[in-house]
């Protein structure tokens, strides 16, 4: 019997929410580390209402939050990615 190494529907990896959220988290974290001045400029460019709603102390946690969301997204069944016979 052939041992399966990859998960089912592996060919749809680029459509999964977890991949997108994890990628955004990695990019956000990398940008905050590599370009801290750019992050401050982006923060100052945001509308006042949004800056008031999100405390500035939480901005470094943006990447971590996206990583957590990507893990939770793995638990959600994406109907468009399911084979027809499972629907």
Band the pLDDT of 86: cuts 50, 70, 90: low
Backbone angles phi and psi of 35, in degrees to 5: -130, 70
> In the structure, what pLDDT confidence band is assigned to residue 82 with cuts at 50, 70 and 90?
low
Q: Which of 30, 32, 21 is nearest to 76 (CA)?
A: 21
What residues contact residue 80 under an 8 Å CB cut-off, 6+ apart? 15
Give the pLDDT score at 84: 63
pLDDT of residue 1: 61
Q: 72 and 27 in contact (C-beta within 8 Å)?
A: no
Over residues 17-75, the pLDDT tens digits come to: 888 888 888 888 888 788 888 878 888 898 999 888 888 788 778 778 878 888 888 77
Please state, in angstroms and rounded to a whole number, the distance separating the CA atoms of residues 77 and 24.
20
Those residues whose C-beta lies under 8 Å from the C-beta of residue 47, and which sit 6 or more positions away, are none
pTM beyond 0.85, yes or no: no
The whole-number pLDDT of residue 47 equals: 92
Q: Is residue 27 a contact partner of residue 67, using CB atoms and an 8 Å limit?
A: no
């Amino acid at each position: 019997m052939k041992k399966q190494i990859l998960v089912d529907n592996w060919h749809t990896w680029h459509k999964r929410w977890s991949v997108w959220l994890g990628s955004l988290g990695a990019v956000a974290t990398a940008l905050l580390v590599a370009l801290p001045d750019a992050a401050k400029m982006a923060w100052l460019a945001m509308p006042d209402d949004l800056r008031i709603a999100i405390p500035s102390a939480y901005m470094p946690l943006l990447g971590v939050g996206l990583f957590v969301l990507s893990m939770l997204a793995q638990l959600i069944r994406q109907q468009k990615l399911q084979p027809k016979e499972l629907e």
